Amino acid sequence: MRTRSTITSLRNLWLSPTCPKTICLLEFPGAPDTVDTALPGDPHESSSGIKIRVWQPSELGAMLSLCQLGFDQGALSEDDLELCFPSGEAEPSVVLGTDDHMACAVFRILDAASPTGSRLQRVARVELLVTHPSRRRRGLARQLLLAGERWAQKNEVTQLVIGGARPVGVFSGVDLRWTAALCLAESMGYERQGIAVDLSCATVQSARIPAPAGVQIARVESDTQVEELLRLVQENAPAELGNFLRAASAGTALIAVGPENRGVRCVAAHSVYRLGVIGPVVFAGQTGAANEMLQHDSDRVAMLSAVVAMMRSDLAVAGLTTVEILGEDCISDYVAACAARTSRVSQVFSWDLSNLRAE
């Protein structure tokens, strides 16, 4: 069984993710149950008699059995689910579930703090929400979300997101019943924020794509390259530092240096979340969220084309025929860079945790 720390050849790559948006919901909301206000830790029981507690890694087998009943057989592996449990290599997370192993949910905190120690806005995301087929429509999913909200509040989280950026995440290619998840969120008062779009493209390329004149693109291998990569990320997208550290350790990070070594222009990574997922990409001088790029900038599109081309070649060697792309705010750039196509569109909902739930 692979573990979070496993770093092998590219063909067998498996990296610890950063909690992308991945939601699994196997029930539509039923009548709301009264949920006690205790924070999850030791087992606690609602007035409806349902016990919700923190699941431990030793319960991985029960979690796998539960998910196998909810999805196509083998859609989620033991390796996938192991990554849901807390680890020092990833952002804080928790697996909450019923005492009888009939339902569970995974929550993870993102952007806990910047490298300099200053606090960023803390956002938690739902990664997984699954209910045993025999227990659907009984409000279990609702109670798990409420328990997750309390856990997030305890950890000074300001917002809980269902949907959002990076729906590919750990469970790439698995149907996780988004429609039901978003119906539940909306029924609980979560606000609609917009949509998230994911892209895909083939690894096979019809022609070699050159880098812009004078720009050298290379895989990050030396300590000097790692330092330059991390410096650019820290200055432009500090929330992505953990991702690039993992990518640099596994040999899946790239760096683009300007003419005559006059500074790093761009850094990129792939397979940070799962083998075959391209992103994040960070440009020097970018502002706003990670991966955000100025539109209609031909130089950046050309550089992105060359960077993505090298990653596509690496993934083709690993045996992949298609790759997924975390498009986020630069969809048109990826379309221009590698003829990427839309692979899925998801709505985004969030709950402001400063809002108190009625008991």
* 246/2: higher pLDDT: 246
128-153 per-position pLDDT tens digit: 888 898 888 888 989 999 999 999 99
- For every residue of 275-334, which 3-state class applies, written as one string? CCEEEEEEECCCCCCCCCCCCCCHHHHHHHHHHHHHHHHHHHHCCCCEEEECCCCCHHHH
How many helices and strands in the chain, by DSSP H and E? 8, 13
**Cβ partners under 8 Å of residue 324, min gap 6:** 168, 172, 198, 199, 200, 276, 277, 278, 343
- At 54 the pLDDT is 97
The domains located in the chain, with CATH, are 10-196+346-352 (3.40.630.30), 202-345 (3.40.630)
Closest CA to 338 of 309, 300, 298: 309
Band of pLDDT at residue 211, cut at 50, 70 and 90: confident
End-to-end CA distance of the chain: 43
Give pTM, 2 decimals: 0.65
307-347 per-position pLDDT tens digit: 999 999 999 998 999 988 875 556 777 887 888 888 777 78
Length of the chain in residues, anyone? Answer: 359
Q: What are phi and psi of 221, to 5 degrees?
A: -130, -40
How many Cβ atoms from other residues are within 10 Å of residue 165's Cβ? 25
Identify the top-confidence range among 13-22, 63-72, 282-291: 63-72
C-alpha to C-alpha distance for 176 and 344, rounded to whole angstroms: 12
Q: Which helix (H) or strand (E) holds 128?
A: strand 123-131
C-alpha to C-alpha distance for 14 and 272, rounded to whole angstroms: 8
**64-to-73, 76, 142, 242, 275 alpha-carbon distances in Å:** 10, 8, 21, 27, 21
* 252/326: higher pLDDT: 252
Q: What would the two tokens of residue 289 be?
A: 């969220």
Handedness of CA 152, 157, 162, 168 (dihedral sign): negative
Least confident of 3-7, 152-156, 245-249, 263-267: 3-7
Return the DSSP state at 85: S
Residue 251 has pLDDT above 80, yes or no: yes
- At 164 the pLDDT is 59
- What's the rounded mean pLDDT across residues 226-234? 92
19-65 per-position pLDDT tens digit: 333 333 333 333 333 333 344 444 455 545 678 999 999 999 999 99
Listed as own residue / partner, the contacts of 285-289 with beta carbons closer than 8 Å and 24 or more positions apart are 285/236, 286/236, 286/237, 287/236, 288/329, 289/237, 289/328, 289/329
55-96 per-position pLDDT tens digit: 999 999 999 999 888 766 566 788 888 888 987 766 789 999
Alpha helix stretches (DSSP H) within the chain: 60-70, 78-82, 140-154, 178-187, 223-236, 241-250, 298-317, 331-338
Using an 8 Å Cβ cutoff, are 104 and 66 in contact?
yes
Band of pLDDT at residue 297, cut at 50, 70 and 90: low
Q: What would the two tokens of residue 278 be?
A: 């391209």
- At 34 the pLDDT is 32
